[in-house]
Amino acid sequence: MSTYKLVICEKPSVAKSIAAVLDANERKGGFFVGNGYIVSWCAGHLLELAAPDAYGDYSKWRYADLPIIPEHWKHVPAKGKEAQLKIVTDLMNRADVEYVINGCDAGREGENIFKSAYIHAKCNKKIFRLWISSMEDAAIMTGFDNLADGKEYDNLYAAASCRERADWTVGINMTRTLSVLYHSTLGVGRVQSPTLAMLVGRDADIAAFVKEPFYMVNIDIDSLTASGEKTKDKQEAEAVRADCDGKAAVVRSVEYQKKSAAPPKLYDLTTLQREANRLFGFTAQQTLDYAQSLYEKAILSYPRVDSRYITSDMRGTAGAVVEWIQKDMEYKDGADFAPDIDRLIDDKRVTDHHAIIPTIGMTATDISALPSGECDILNLVACRLLCATAPTHIFEAVTALLDCGGHVFTAKGKTIIADGWKAIDTAFKSSLRNKPEAGEDEDGEGGDALPGLSEGQTFDSVAASIKEGSTTPPRPYTEDTLLSAMENAGAEETDDDVERKGLGTPATRAAIIEKLVKTGFADRVKKNIIPSDKGKSLVAVLPDALTSPKLTAEWENRLLMVQRGELPEKEFMDGITAFTKALVAENNAPKPELMGLFGGDKPQNESLGVCPRCGSPVREGKKGFFCDKHSCGFKVWKASKFWAAKKKPLTAAIVAALLKDGRVALKGLFSEKTGKKYDATVVLDDTGDGYVNFRLDFGKK
C-alpha cells in the first residue's frame, strides 16, 4: 500500500504554495494530494477553549461560583470551522498516512494551532516540524530537507497552552467578577486592561493640562536669527527686547562639531506597524494583514517577528535583493553605493525569526499590480533594507553664541557633508502619494546652514522681536505611539534581568488595539486612539494589579522559561490559579462610590456639591470625583498631571470648595520651574467638552 506524508498548514494559501513545491497538485475537498504528500490546512484556530458552562452550571454569572478553575481543560470546535476540523482529523487518522508534518506558522501560536488539532484527533503518529521564515520555493525546499523532530517543540507548545489557559483563567474570572459587581459587561484581559489604563491615563493628563504662555526674544541679523531664553514673564521679555533692539550684537563663540546619523535598523513587526501608521495611516492590524499576505505570496519574509537583524547565512540573499532595489526601484536616488550587508547580521540577536525583508521573489513580481496597501508595505520594507545598508549620514553642527545688550542669544545650524542613507529616505518619502508632514530632524539639529561667523564679529543695529507661544498638552495616543508605549511599558519598574518587557508581543499588539475598539472601550478619532467613557469607567474599577504592565511582563518571562524547559507547566499554572483566587477574594463587593459609573445603584457616600454641568450630586471615588449622572461625563481624577505637578493632593474639601465657589485659595503649591512653593487660587475652568480643566489666578487669594 502506498503511504503519504501529511502536511498541515495554518492557512489555505500557504498550503497551496507548499503543495505546488511538493508537486501535490491534485485538489480535493479540503486538501491537495500528489507525489506522496497530502497537504491540508487549519484555517487558523480550528479549536478554542470551551466556555465555562462546559465545566458545570455556569451559564448564569454569579459571584458565588467564582473562581472557575477547570481541572481538565476542554477544547471545542471554533464556530464555522467544524467541517475543516473533521477533514484534518480524518486525514491524521488515515491508515495510509505514515507521519505528520507541522507546517503551521513558525511560532508559538502556530504550534498551538497544530498541536490542539493533533490532540483532538487523538493522533499518535510521529510529528516532524517545518520551520521556515519565507514562502519562497527555495526556502520551502530547504525547510523540507531539514525537518526537525516535533518533540523538539514540545516546550513551545507548552508555553502556548499556558498562555491560552492563563488568559482564559484571569479574563473569564475577572470579567465575571466585575460585571456581576457593577451590573455591566466589563471585559478584562491581561494585556488589554493595562493598555486601556495607559489610554485613560493619557486622557486624564490632557484633561488636567493647564496651558501656560511663554515669551522668547529673537534678534534678526540678515539671514541669521538667534534666540534668547524662554520666560513666562511678558514684561521681562519686553525689557530684553528693549535692551537689544537697534543695538550691536557680538559673536562670543562659534562651535563646529562633526556628527553622524547611523543608518536605521531593519524592521521588526512593531517598528513596521509604527512607520506604516505614520506614513500611510494604516492601523496595526492592517499592516500585519498586508505583511502576512505578502509573506503568503512569497514576496516578504515572515512578519510576526521581534528581531531587527538577519543571520549570516542570509548574506547572499539580502545582497541580491539590495542590488535589484538599487537598479529597479523609483527611490533609488542616492543608492549608488556598495551595500554594507554585514551591518545587518547578528546571529545572536535572531531567535525564531530574522527581521522583515523582501525575499528574492520580489525581483520577479510586478509590484504595481499588487493591492495598494500591500504595495505600500513592500516598498516601505524594501526602502528600509536599502537604507540599512547605505552609508552613514554625516553633517557638521554649528552653535553660535551672541551677546546683545548684555543678553545671550543662540543660533544653530548644520551643513550636510554626506547625505548617505537620508538621500534614499528623502527620495522614498517624496515618491509617496500623500507626503508626510515635515517634522524635526531625526538627529535633533537645526536644519539650515548658518552664514560664516567668527568669534568677535560684530553686527550693528540688530532688530529684536518677541515670539509668543504657549505650552502644549500631551498628545493623544496614535496607533504609532501606542504601539511604542506598549512595547516599552513598565521598563522602569521591571528588573533589568527580565528578558521580555512591555505589553504583549509583536504578534498580539494589533489584536489588542482592535479588541479595545471593537468592544467599545476605545474609539478611533482620525489617527488618534481615545478611551471611551465606558473605558474610563472600567479602568476606575479595575484592580491595580490588572492595570500594571509589570504583570504581563512577568507572565511573558515565565512563559519563556516554560518554552526553554526551565519551568514546569504546572508551576506556571499554579501561580496563575493563586493569583486569580486572590483577585476574586479581594474584589468581593462593589465600591459604592463607583456604582454610578455604570448606571447601577447610586453611591451612598456624602455629596460634595452640585455638578456644574447637570446639577446632579458629585461624590468621591477611589480614583477621583464623579457626577452621579454617568451620561453627564463630569469627572475629576485625583492622579491628574495638574495636581501631581503642584504636589498638592486633591482632597474632598478642595473639590467641595471648587463646586461651591468655582475657585479655592491654596497654600504651598509647588513650582517645577523654581523648585519653591507659592500660594495661589485654583479656578475650576470647565468648558463642558469632556475634560475638566483648572487654571491659576494670582490676582485673588
Beta bridge partners of 458: 250
> What local confidence, expressed as pLDDT, does residue 139 receive?
85
Q: What is the rounded CA–CA span in Å between residue 637 and residue 625? A: 6
Beta bridge partners of 402: 251, 409
| Cα dihedral sign, 381-383-386-388 | negative
Question: What string of H, E and C letters represents the secondary structure of 430-441?
Answer: HCCCCCCCCCCC
Please check the confidence at residue 697 and state whether its pLDDT lies above 90. Answer: no
- Residues 380-393 have pLDDT tens digits of 999 999 999 999 99
- Residues 61-83 have pLDDT tens digits of 888 899 999 999 999 999 999 99
Q: What is the rounded CA–CA span in Å between residue 178 and residue 547? A: 14
Name the CATH code of domain 4-161 (choices 3.40.47.10, 3.30.2140.20, 3.40.50.140, 3.30.479.30): 3.40.50.140
> What local confidence, expressed as pLDDT, does residue 70 receive?
95
Give percent of the chain above pLDDT 70.
Answer: 94
What fold is seen in the domain 162-208+475-590?
Topoisomerase I; domain 2 (1.10.460)
Give the mean pLDDT of the chain.
89
Average pLDDT over residues 206-234: 93
CA end-to-end span of the chain: 97
Q: How confident is the model at residue 497 (pLDDT cuts 50, 70, 90)?
A: very low
Q: What is the rounded CA–CA span in Å between residue 42 and residue 84? A: 7
- Residues 664-673 have pLDDT tens digits of 999 888 888 8
- Residues 337-387 have pLDDT tens digits of 899 999 999 988 887 789 999 999 898 899 889 999 999 999 999 999 999
For residue 238, the surrounding DSSP H or E stretch is helix 234-244
- Residues 584-596 have pLDDT tens digits of 999 988 887 887 7
3-state secondary structure of 542: coil
| Cα dihedral sign, 65-70-74-80 | positive
| CB-neighbour burial class of residue 64 (10 A; exposed 0-12, middle 13-18, buried 19+) | exposed
Q: How confident is the model at residue 15 (pLDDT cuts 50, 70, 90)?
A: very high
Average pLDDT over residues 285-304: 93
Q: Which residues are catalytic?
A: 302
- Residues 93-139 have pLDDT tens digits of 999 999 999 999 888 889 999 999 999 999 999 999 999 887 888 88
**236 or 431, which is more confident?**
236
For residue 663, the surrounding DSSP H or E stretch is strand 663-670
Which segments of 282-413 does DSSP mark as H helices, in order? Answer: 284-296, 315-328, 372-388
Spatial CA neighbour of 88 closest among 64, 117, 124? 117
Instruction: Give the residue extent of every domain in the chain.
Output: 4-161, 162-208+475-590, 213-260+394-419+444-469, 269-391, 595-697
Q: How confident is the model at residue 603 (pLDDT cuts 50, 70, 90)?
A: very low
Q: How confident is the model at residue 601 (pLDDT cuts 50, 70, 90)?
A: very low
Q: What's the CATH class of domain 213-260+394-419+444-469?
A: mainly beta
Please, are residues 304 and 507 in contact by the beta-carbon 8 Å criterion?
A: yes
| Cα dihedral sign, 552-553-558-559 | positive
- Residues 454-487 have pLDDT tens digits of 999 999 999 999 999 999 999 999 999 999 999 8
Phi first, then psi: what are they for 24, rounded to 5°? -100, 75
Q: What is the rounded CA–CA span in Å between residue 401 and residue 455? A: 9
**Separation in Å, CA 440 to CA 303, 334, 433, 443, 482:** 29, 22, 21, 8, 20
Give percent of the chain above pLDDT 90.
Answer: 62
Domains 162-208+475-590 and 269-391 share a fold: no
Please, are residues 77 and 105 in contact by the beta-carbon 8 Å criterion?
A: no
Q: Per CATH, is 269-391 categorized as 3.40.50.300?
A: no
- Residues 144-196 have pLDDT tens digits of 999 999 999 999 999 999 999 999 999 999 999 999 888 888 889 888 999 99
- Strand 609-610 with 393-404, pairing: unpaired
Spatial CB neighbours of 228, under 8 Å, sequence gap ≥ 6: 216, 217, 218, 219, 240, 407, 408, 409, 410
Q: What is the rounded CA–CA span in Å between residue 683 and residue 663? A: 4
Which segments of 329-454 does DSSP mark as H helices, in order? Answer: 372-388, 421-430
What pTM did the predictor assign? Answer: 0.76
